[in-house]
Amino acid sequence: MMVAMETRPPARALGHLLLEPEVARVVGVLPVWLDPMVRHLRFPGPVGARNGVRQWRIEAVEAWLRWHGLGRLAPILSERNLRWLVLRLVARQPSASLGPAAGVPANDVERQTARLAVHLITQVPYEMQQQWARARRAGSTDRQIAAHARMGVTFVRLVVDGIPRPLSGGRINPYQLRQLWDEGLPIAVIAQCVGRSVPRTRAEIAQAGDFLPARLTSKQIVARFGWTRTNVRGLRQHPHFPPPDGHPTGATMGKGTWWWAATIDQWEAGTKLRRCRVCGARVQRLGTHQTKHQLPKRPAVEEDHDHAQDDHHPH
């Protein structure tokens, strides 16, 4: 889901200069992106510093924005460029390994992928980018941030961290990993197919973000709908609830059965669930569910006293 770009507020200028935080806000990216843009996108470099904070010329920044037409999606989203971006983000492969296969110099690969990434990022309001960064510093996970923003995990990481540096040692090809993952294979079998250890394969699956479709365990379904484990066990016996897509074979991050997220999404779309305002659970019979919130709990002492009376008065 892409969010429409909001109008950027005017920056606070120092004469004809902008401080680094203001430059990032005007361009629409977090400050972590400024150095990669200077290196790969011919973004104007800083012309000085004030109290340790770098400064840019306003005219140079505005001219660069006009030239690149930022604020809109890149006019050409070629499959090749998108593939390069995925390999840089998920597999963290160096540009030098991507260009030769297509007959393109490594520098051109880096510039094109960076330009595409910046165009995608600037579709998200800068204020939202800052909110994601603050949420992470406060302890929220990338998946929690992505779920709240209705974005992909990989996209959230791109916005907050920029394009990561390449790693040596040979990452698993994400397209091969995706093929094996889509087959529903256990992690141990995937590790054997790609020639990696199980812990390393498990870690790379976690780092792949939303490039791999999610597998939901019973625990994750409980958290998603505000249910209990007993609810899930009971629903599994119901003919209308989808059977698990995977069984306890170590195919998920934890143990137990699992469902594709798309399976649960499809079931949810065809089921009329209503949210309880008291506990937040999503249920079909809201009235029956809410009665448990209205029944006062009696103290244990009184209950014991009543039971004692009932023993003497069986009526």
Asked if residue 137 and residue 116 are part of one domain, the reply reads yes
Query: Token pair of 132, please?
Result: 């994601």
Determine contact, residues 33/118, Cβ cutoff 8 Å: yes
Mark whether 81 and 204 lie in a shared domain: no
Verify that 288 and 223 share a domain, yes or no.
Answer: no
Phi, psi of 181 (to 5 degrees): -65, -40
Same domain, 208 and 222: no
Which residues span the domain enclosing 219? 214-269
82 and 148 housed in the same domain: yes
**Cα 56 from Cα 43, distance rounded (Å):** 10
Burial of 17 (0-12, 13-18, 19+ CB in 10 A): middle
Residues forming a β-bridge with 49: 54
Distance CA 276, CA 283 (A): 7
User: Is 135 found in the same domain as 28?
Assistant: yes
Q: Is the pTM of this model over 0.75?
A: no
Please name the helix (run of DSSP H) or strand (run of DSSP E) that holds residue 56, with its range, or none: strand 53-57
pLDDT in tens, the chain (315 residues): 344 434 344 444 445 888 999 998 888 888 888 888 887 778 899 998 888 889 999 999 988 888 877 655 555 567 788 888 888 888 888 888 887 777 888 888 888 888 888 888 888 889 999 999 999 999 998 988 988 888 888 899 999 998 888 876 677 888 889 889 988 888 889 999 988 899 999 998 988 888 888 898 888 888 888 877 877 777 777 778 888 888 765 444 445 688 998 898 888 888 877 777 666 666 666 666 666 666 555 555 444 444 444 444 444
* Residue 174 burial by Cβ neighbours in a 10 Å radius (0-12, 13-18, 19+): buried
Backbone φ, ψ for residue 173 (5° rounding) = -60, 120
Query: SS3 of 184, please?
Result: coil
Give the helix ranges, DSSP H, for the chain.
Answer: 20-27, 34-40, 58-68, 79-86, 95-102, 106-121, 126-137, 142-149, 153-161, 174-182, 187-194, 198-207, 218-225, 229-236, 261-269, 286-294, 300-312
Residues 151 and 296 both lie in one domain = no
